[in-house]
């Protein structure tokens, strides 16, 4: 059994699996049930001046029979009185001293307001703060949430305010609704943040009811853009995590968030530089119980790969991400069909014919085959093939040395 | 005697074995389809319905478009969804059968889409602008209906002549009730009728020979077809009345056993037995306590399973050869086994025994010994005759098996007469007849106008 415990910017957690600040962390009793299920930490639903929510609030993106591959919400921060949340946080931490309890905070952009909430909250015994600079809907219209995270100077400034009074590690939660994630990340670091977490949700309109012609989610005939999360956002999150992880000037820990459903997703975030991961949508779909396989699967993976601690894999793939200009232009792969596994659905053929480079042909037995001279090695056929191993990419090595675009343009 | 089971029990026994999919099931199953390119299922379908296309339309919620794809290639797509041997056609070819050993339920998805169109009275196709030409179709079974639908879409004035009181042929009278109720077939007839096709029911066709001299003088075929009862005076000669005639007359009576006792009370042929069940007037269907069905084709299976479901205590299927030789599909034999049918293989009937009424079936076993199976009902299911006499009277060429010979236009040796379905192929599935009707419509149109049209799935 590998050691799954982590020390994330000074916050100790029995495993890297945290619940993100969201409906699953709305109150103490919920978080206590989550800890019982095995979650290592939880970021409390954002504290601040209580708000009023609308109904309805959520909408989902389905893919065929797969429900909720993406989720969109217009729910705001906590609607419970601050003192109730603080009392429950105190009780929760007392009952679960080994689990990480992080208080997510969001108040108006005034130094005194931030000072006050930090001071009041750290008395609960919580392990750290997460500054919500990411919420893209509702709160941002009031100058909070993403309105902070989208301006690096504000991000830096408010982080400094918090650090002036905080005795605890401070995580800054970043919004993905920016053109480049590195400036806000650096700004958080400059403001004294001990870590960042990302991504918060993405601006989105989930869809339109084509019968009523009202977009989702319908609030008395009207809709507003919401925050998008779930499986579908994982690639965007992975990119932003890796962008920060490989930035030479950025060197504080990252908590990865976005589309994590399984231990496999978590491992990918860890490999690209995340020190912990945060989960919300998958729990909203299936409940706290999913953490059991996350822990079990991560353990088995680490044992299988010969790692004694989860810390050994953190960031292990960061140096495998580079700029396009550094990629080897002489690396050549081509597709090859294995007729023994081919089921003749011909999806490779039509994908290549209409979506790629017309390299597929049929042999006398109606099996597709690849003209390797025409194949550019794009992978599309292997991506569409439903039969494992029926189309595989094979390396054709012509013996030439690696050469990147940057090297070629220098010559 | 008749059944002793309660109506409720019989209704339960005859509930459809492949009930309609729920919306959730249909959408899930439709999404499971890989959407193959040049799909094996579509190639395996005799009418070449674009299966992936209609399935993806179910997934996208476009049920009208889905039904259009189906009926465009097969005007009896609702019947075929229920009675096709999908295990050996589309579903047998499905790549998911190879990959996951679980083919997509194409038949049931096809039913889902066609049910939507039928139940919501969707007029999918319109009759074409009248082209001034007329075609007479003899027989309203799958081949006749299909041919009529395509010709009507092209603007032909089409009349179907049918000797039975209801149209639809074997789809109406000959399908096992637990596979498809009569209503499905009659709904499909209505779809064809909605294209302006006229139906002359209860209408026998006779062949009136003409004096050879007159025939020569008129430069016409040596025989003329005449429809009875005459509705229009002096306008009953189909070959004069129509620009072309399509023969979709199917097969004839059930073959005779030519055994002693064949005329005893309690001996019935399978088609008549099945036809009586189609009325769902369960208590009027003749039924023995112990029923012996002779033959092992798909019709024999329909007879044994339905005799059992009606309430016969003991049902036996008697066949002179082995199970391996039985012409019925394997899954049909499996169904009969599940229904508790006793199979008596390698046993050749010698004589039906009885004094006025059937009391037994004397047979010879493979080892030469004789055995008498006690039974009070014998059902003959040993195939149907060809209507060779009719074709000879019409004066069209038949092959050595008595099947009508046609060219690539589905044209007989009389250029004005076309033929398709069981009378040409010797007896196959409804879906094969539907395709034959489609190809004949193309052939008739080409023959009369010189214009080559291709309907969906014509090749």
Q: Is B39 in contact with A349 (Cβ distance < 8 A)?
A: no
Is B296 within 8 Å of B316 (Cβ atoms)? no
**Where residue B215 falls among pLDDT bands split at 50, 70, 90?**
very low
Of A371, A370, A372, A375, nearest in space to A390 by CA:
A370
Distances (CA, A) of A356 to A4, A332, A379, B38: 43, 16, 10, 18
Nearest Cα of chain B lies from the Cα of A210 at a distance, in angstroms, of: 12
Q: Residue A173 burial by CB count (10 A; 0-12/13-18/19+): exposed, middle or buried?
A: buried
Select from B24, B95, B97 the residue whose CB has the most chain A CBs within 10 Å, as the one to mutate to test that interface. Answer: B95
| List of chain B residues whose C-beta atoms are within 8 Å of the C-beta of residue A346 | 36-39
- Gap between the Cα atoms of B176 and A170, Å rounded: 74
CB A96 within 8 A of CB A159: no
Residues of chain A with pLDDT under 70: 411
- Report, as residue numbers or ranges, the catalytic residues of A: 135
Q: Do the beta carbons of residue B352 and residue B267 sit within 8 Å?
A: yes
Tokens of A91: 């009780």
CB proximity list for A102: less than 8 A, separation 6 or greater:
A11, A18, A21, A41, A42, A43, A44, A126, A127, A128, A129, A130, A171
Q: What is the pLDDT of residues B226-238, one digit of tens each?
A: 766 544 444 578 9
Asked if B162 contacts B140 with a C-beta cutoff of 8 angstroms, the reply is: yes
Within 8 A of B40 by CB-CB distance, chain A residues are 344
Q: Please tell me which residue, B96 or A344, carries the higher pLDDT value.
A: A344
Neighbours of A261 (CB within 10 A): 20
Locate the chain B residue with the closest alpha carbon to A65: B28
Cβ B134 vs Cβ B160: under 8 Å:
no
Q: Collect all residues of chain A within an 8 Å Cβ-Cβ radius of residue B39.
A: 345-346
Q: Of A22-26, B2-6, B112-116, B157-161, which gets the smallest average pLDDT? A: B2-6
Q: Provide the mean pLDDT of chain A.
A: 96
Shortest Cα distance from A241 to chain B (angstroms)?
Answer: 33
Residue B222 burial by Cβ neighbours in a 10 Å radius (0-12, 13-18, 19+): middle
Q: What angle do CA B427, B156, B204 make, to 5 degrees?
A: 50
Question: How many other CB atoms sit within 10 Å of the CB of residue A53?
Answer: 12
Which pLDDT belongs to residue B77? Answer: 98
Quick: pLDDT tens for A161-208.
999 999 999 999 999 999 999 999 999 999 999 999 999 999 999 999
| pLDDT(B210) > 90 | no
Closest-CA residue of chain B to A386: B34
Average the pLDDT over B25-43 and give the result.
Answer: 95
Q: For chain B, which residues lie within 8 Å of any Cβ of chain A, measuring from their own Cβ?
A: 27-28, 31-32, 34-40, 59, 95, 98-99
> What is the Cα B326 distance to its own chain's centre?
20
Q: Alpha carbon A360 to chain centroid distance?
A: 37
Cis amide leading into B229 (omega within 30)? yes
Q: How confident is the model at residue B307 (pLDDT cuts 50, 70, 90)?
A: very high
Identify the bridge partners of residue B205 per DSSP, sorted by sequence position. Answer: B227
pLDDT recorded at residue B204: 87
Preferred mutation among B21, B37, B53 to probe A, highest tally of A CBs within 10 A: B37
Characterise B256 by phi-psi region: left (phi > 0), alpha (psi -120 to 50), beta (else).
Answer: beta
Dihedral sign of CA atoms A378, A383, A384, A385 in order: positive
- Residue A346 touches partner B, C-beta closer than 8 Å: yes
* Rounded distance between C-alpha atoms, residue A128 and residue A193, angstroms: 11
Non-local (6+) Cβ contacts of B15 within 8 A are B178
Does B96 score more than 90 pLDDT? Answer: no
What is the model's pLDDT at position A138? 86
Q: Residue A59 pairs with which residues in a beta bridge?
A: A72
**Residue indicated by tokens 């499996």:** B334
Using CB atoms, which residue from B31, B37, B95 is nearest to A64? B31
| Cα–Cα distance for residue pair B106/B91, rounded to 1 Å | 6
Q: What is the mean pLDDT of residues B88-116?
A: 94
Closest residue in B to A354 (Cα–Cα): B37
Using 50, 70 and 90 to split pLDDT, how confident is the model at B100? Answer: confident
d(CA A42, CA A23): 11
Decide if A349 touches B, using CB distance below 8 A. Answer: yes
Strands (E) in A147-204, as ranges, are: 170-173, 195-198, 202-204
pLDDT in tens, B402-456: 999 999 999 999 999 999 999 999 999 999 999 999 999 999 999 999 999 999 9
- Look at A345 and B31 and tell me if their CB atoms are within 8 Å: no
Q: Do B34 and A386 touch (CB under 8 A)?
A: yes
Strand residue runs (E) in A55-119: 58-63, 66-73, 100-105
Task: Give the DSSP H or E segment for B355.
Answer: strand B347-355
Instruction: Find the CB nearest B36 among A64, A65, A347.
Output: A347
| Lowest pLDDT segment from A139-153, A185-199, B5-19, B25-39 | A139-153
Residue B260 · residue B241 · CB < 8 Å:
no
pLDDT tens for B343-365 read 999 999 999 999 999 999 999 99
Q: Which residues of B touch A388 (CB under 8 A)?
A: none
Omega prior to B264 cis, within 30 of 0: no
Please count the residue pairs, one from chain A and one from chain B, whose beta carbons lie less than 8 angstroms apart. 34
- B265 bridge partner residues: B357
B245 bridge partner residues: B136, B417
Task: Give the H or E element holding residue A394.
Answer: strand A391-395
- What's the pTM? 0.91
Predicted pLDDT at B259: 94
Strands A66-73 and A226-229: antiparallel
DSSP codes, A244-303: HHT-TT--S-EEEESS--SHHHHHHHHHTTEEEEEE-HHHHHH-GGGHHHHHHHHHHHHH
Nearest CA in chain A to B26: A65
State how far the Cα of A338 lies from the Cα of B71, in Å rounded to an integer. 37
Q: Do A344 and B40 touch (CB under 8 A)?
A: yes
Determine the 3-state secondary structure of A29 from DSSP.
helix
| Per-residue pLDDT at B1 | 67
Interface probe with B: pick from A343, A347, A352, most Cβ of B within 10 Å: A343
User: What residues of chain A lie within 8 A of the CB of B99, using their CB?
Assistant: 343, 386-387
How far apart CA A391 and CA A368 sit, in angstroms, is 10
How far is A302 from B210, CA to CA, in rounded Å? 94
């Amino acid at each position: 059994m590998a050691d799954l415990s982590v020390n994330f910017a000074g916050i100790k957690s029995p495993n890297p699996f945290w619940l993100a600040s969201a409906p699953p962390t709305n109150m103490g009793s919920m978080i206590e049930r989550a800890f019982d299920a095995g979650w290592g930490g939880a970021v409390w639903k954002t504290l601040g001046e209580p708000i009023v929510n609308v109904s309805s609030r959520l909408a989902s993106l389905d893919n065929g029979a797969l429900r909720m591959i993406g989720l969109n919400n217009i729910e705001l921060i906590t609607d419970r009185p601050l003192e109730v949340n603080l009392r429950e946080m105190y009780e929760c931490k007392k009952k679960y001293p080994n689990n990480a309890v992080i208080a997510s905070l969001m108040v108006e952009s005034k130094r005194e307001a931030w000072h006050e909430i930090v001071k009041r909250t750290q008395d609960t015994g919580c392990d750290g703060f997460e500054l919500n600079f990411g919420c893209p809907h509702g709160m941002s219209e009031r100058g909070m949430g993403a309105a902070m995270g989208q301006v690096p100077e504000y991000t830096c400034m408010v982080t400094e305010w918090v650090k002036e009074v905080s005795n605890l590690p401070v995580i800054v939660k970043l919004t993905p609704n920016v053109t480049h994630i590195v400036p806000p990340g650096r700004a958080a670091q400059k403001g004294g943040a001990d870590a960042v977490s990302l991504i918060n949700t993405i601006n989105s309109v989930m869809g339109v009811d084509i019968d009523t012609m009202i977009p989702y989610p319908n609030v008395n005939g009207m809709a507003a853009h919401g925050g998008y999360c779930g499986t579908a956002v994982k690639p965007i999150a992975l990119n932003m995590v890796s962008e920060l992880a490989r930035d030479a000037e950025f060197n504080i820990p990252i908590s990865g968030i976005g589309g994590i459903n399984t231990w496999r997703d978590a491992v990918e975030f860890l490999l690209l530089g995340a020190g912990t991961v945060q989960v919300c949508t998958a729990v909203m779909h299936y409940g706290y119980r999913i953490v059991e396989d996350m822990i079990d699967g991560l353990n088995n993976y680490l044992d299988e790969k010969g790692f004694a601690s989860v810390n050994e894999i953190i960031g292990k793939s960061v140096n495998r991400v580079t700029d396009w200009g550094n990629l080897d232009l002489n690396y050549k792969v081509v597709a090859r069909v294995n007729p023994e596994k081919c089921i003749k659905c011909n999806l490779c053929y039509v994908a290549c014919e209409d979506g790629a480079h017309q390299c597929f042909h049929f042999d006398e037995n109606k099996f597709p085959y690849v003209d390797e001279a025409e194949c550019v090695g794009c992978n599309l056929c292997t991506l569409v093939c439903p039969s494992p191993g029926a189309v595989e990419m094979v390396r054709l090595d012509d013996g030439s040395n690696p050469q990147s675009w940057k090297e070629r343009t220098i010559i | 005697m008749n059944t002793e089971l309660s109506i409720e029990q019989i209704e339960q026994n005859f509930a459809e074995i492949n009930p309609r999919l729920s919306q959730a099931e249909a959408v899930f199953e439709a999404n499971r389809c890989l959407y193959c390119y040049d799909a094996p299922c579509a190639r395996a379908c005799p009418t070449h319905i674009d299966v992936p296309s209609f399935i993806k339309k179910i997934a996208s919620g476009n049920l009208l478009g889905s039904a259009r794809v189906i009926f465009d290639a097969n005007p009896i797509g609702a019947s075929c969804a229920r009675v096709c041997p999908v295990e050996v056609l589309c579903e047998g070819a499905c790549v998911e059968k190879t990959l996951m050993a679980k083919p997509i339920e194409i038949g049931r998805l096809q039913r889902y889409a066609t049910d939507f169109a039928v139940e919501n009275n969707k007029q999918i196709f319109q009759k074409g602008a009248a082209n001034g030409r007329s075609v007479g179709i003899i027989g309203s079974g799958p081949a006749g209906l299909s041919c009529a639908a395509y010709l009507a879409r092209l603007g032909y004035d089409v009349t179907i002549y049918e000797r039975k009181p209801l149209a639809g042929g074997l789809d109406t009278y000959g399908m096992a009730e637990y596979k498809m109720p009569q209503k499905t077939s009659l709904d499909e007839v209505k779809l064809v009728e909605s294209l302006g096709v006229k139906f002359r029911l209860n209408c026998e066709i006779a062949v009136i020979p003409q004096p050879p001299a007159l025939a020569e003088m008129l430069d016409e075929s040596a025989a003329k077809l005449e429809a009875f009862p005459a509705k229009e005076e002096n306008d009953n000669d189909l070959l004069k009345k129509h620009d072309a005639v399509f023969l979709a007359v199917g097969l004839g009576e059930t073959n005779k056993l030519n055994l002693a006792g064949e005329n005893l009370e309690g001996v019935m042929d399978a088609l008549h037995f099945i036809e009586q069940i189609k009325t769902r007037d369960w208590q009027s269907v003749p039924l023995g306590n112990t029923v012996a069905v002779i033959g092992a084709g798909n019709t024999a299976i329909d007879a044994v399973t339905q005799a059992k479901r009606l309430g016969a205590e003991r049902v036996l299927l008697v066949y002179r050869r082995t199970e391996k030789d039985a012409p019925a599909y394997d899954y049909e034999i499996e169904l009969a086994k599940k229904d508790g049918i006793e199979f008596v293989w390698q046993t050749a009937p010698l004589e039906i025994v009885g004094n006025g009424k059937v009391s037994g079936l004397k047979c010879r076993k493979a080892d030469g010994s004789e055995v008498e199976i006690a039974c009070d009902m014998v059902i003959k299911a040993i195939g149907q005759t060809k209507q060779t006499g009719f074709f000879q009277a019409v004066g069209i060429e038949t092959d050595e098996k008595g099947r009508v010979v046609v060219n690539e236009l589905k044209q007989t040796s009389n250029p004005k007469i076309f033929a398709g379905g069981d009378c040409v192929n010797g007896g196959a599935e409804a879906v094969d007849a539907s395709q034959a009707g489609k190809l004949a419509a193309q052939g008739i149109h080409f023959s009369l106008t010189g214009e080559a049209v291709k309907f969906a799935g014509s090749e």
